[in-house]
Amino acid sequence: MQSSHGWTSAVLIGAGRMGRSHALALREMGVSLRAVCDVNAEACARVGQEFGVAEGNRVSRPEGLAEAIRGVDVVAIATTADSHRALVTLAAESGARNILCEKPLATSVADCDAMVRACEQSGTRLAVNHQMRFMDQYLLVRDVLADGAIGRLASMTVVAGCFGLAMNGSHYIEAFAFLTGSAPAQAAGWFSGAAFQNPRGPQFFDQAGEFRIVSASGQRLLMVIGADQGHGMTTMYAGEFGHVFVDELEGEAIVTTRKPEHRGQPMTRYGMPWDRRSVRFPQADNVKPTRAVYEALAANSGYPSGTDGRRVIAALSACYVSAENGGGTVAVESIAEAAARRFPWA
């Protein structure tokens, strides 16, 4: 049976927790798995059995997927970032029509460029699973900005537990670019210096610390994710006429806006009369927003592209360069010395 978007088949590479979320999202869309691949034979067999993949199409090496990929509607890549370049290139060269790759897109800017180029050459659409633009709390902020309630967005400040610059910080960088409509232009970073065990393997390391990114339009993203912070994910959006405070784990947003009749007053009069409302939203899982990315990719409209993912990697790289050089501001697109450097995030 054909899905509402015309897709019927998929190949899944990576059968871990996030890979299963991809499989669930695709099944909800009416798309069946043609093949599944994972180096962990047990995980591969488990997902293969759950989603009805024939035993002969449960493989441990991606090189065995070329025939299954040929003519498939979408290839899902749910592995760690260090493998993404090889897998995206393999899928593109094998004739994949669409690829949805987990974030971060890669571990270097040069790898991102190679992935985007391979997909352009094969006519493959490449998307990155940056989901925030489809999640309720970000759609709420988008709508508040669109109706002018807080005026032009000036800053987005994230204060959270130690969730890692690349692992979760990359989502915020992409969401910031989406909400401002402007690419990251400058970055500064300060690392906490603390080392933590990474659940994805001892070869991976993701920095904690404080990071500042300025868009080409002058708007600012601040992330305070220190090693001494162990709980919570809160975001404050500040504009000319108000704030939106979002407690992402609680599922609550508080919108405070200067009353319309006072919006002509100077910004220094920060205590003018205001309106306030609270909005509840459901806690997100991985499946619903991942499905939204797939649906946007299937419709060829509004999905986070490989180019979007590449901009995030460039901003992450600039944060590293800044932190390693005393925290000075670095121009995101002038980090030639770091373009080929591979970073240790998962």
Tell me the per-residue pLDDT of 153-175, one tens digit each, with 9 for 90 and over. Answer: 999 999 999 899 999 999 999 99
Last residue of a domain, one of 131, 148, 171: 131
Query: Domain range for residue 13?
Result: 9-131
Q: Which residues pair with 277 in a beta bridge?
A: 255
CA distance 183 to 165: 18
Per-residue pLDDT, 204: 81
Residues 27 and 93 in one domain: yes
Pair of tokens at residue 124: 């493959």
Q: What is the DSSP letter of 128?
A: E
Per-residue pLDDT, 120: 98
| 4 in a structural domain | no
CA distance 247 to 270: 23
Strands 330-331 and 58-59: what pairing?
A: unpaired
Pair of tokens at residue 102: 């987990």
What are the angstrom distances between the C-alpha of 95 and each of 87, 90, 125, 127, 258? 13, 9, 11, 16, 54
Per-residue pLDDT, 179: 97
| 2 in a structural domain | no
Per-residue pLDDT, 217: 97
Residues 124 and 143 in one domain: no
3-state secondary structure (DSSP) of residue 133: helix
Encode pLDDT of 123-154 as tens digits. Answer: 999 999 999 999 999 999 999 999 999 999 99
336 has pLDDT over 70: no
Other C-beta atoms lying within 10 Å of the C-beta of residue 113: 19
CA distance 56 to 103: 29
| 137 in a structural domain | yes
CATH number at residue 238: 3.30.360.10
3 has pLDDT over 80: no
Lowest mean pLDDT of 30-44, 81-95, 106-120, 193-207, name the range.
Answer: 193-207
Assess whether the previous peptide bond of 266 is cis (omega < 30° from 0). no
State the residue for tokens 């995980």: 43
Per-residue pLDDT, 4: 57
Q: Which residues contact 138 (CB under 8 A, 6 or more apart)?
A: 132, 175, 178, 179
CATH number at residue 41: 3.40.50.720
Closest CA to 32 of 41, 40, 23: 23
The residue with greater pLDDT, 335 or 339, is 339
| 156 in a structural domain | yes
Per-residue pLDDT, 200: 80
| 100 in a structural domain | yes
Encode pLDDT of 228-259 as tens digits. Answer: 999 999 999 999 999 999 999 999 999 999 99
Encode pLDDT of 302-335 as tens digits. Answer: 999 999 999 999 999 999 999 999 999 999 988 7
Per-residue pLDDT, 340: 87
Last residue of a domain, one of 131, 148, 181: 131
Number of domains in the chain: 2
| 92 in a structural domain | yes
Per-residue pLDDT, 1: 39
Q: What number of residues does the chain have?
A: 346
Reported as a pLDDT band with limits 50, 70 and 90, residue 68 is very high
State the residue for tokens 């393999």: 90
State the residue for tokens 């609550």: 252
196 has pLDDT over 80: no
| 309 in a structural domain | yes
Per-residue pLDDT, 135: 96
Closest CA to 40 of 79, 86, 4, 66: 79
| 221 in a structural domain | yes
Give the mean pLDDT of the chain.
94
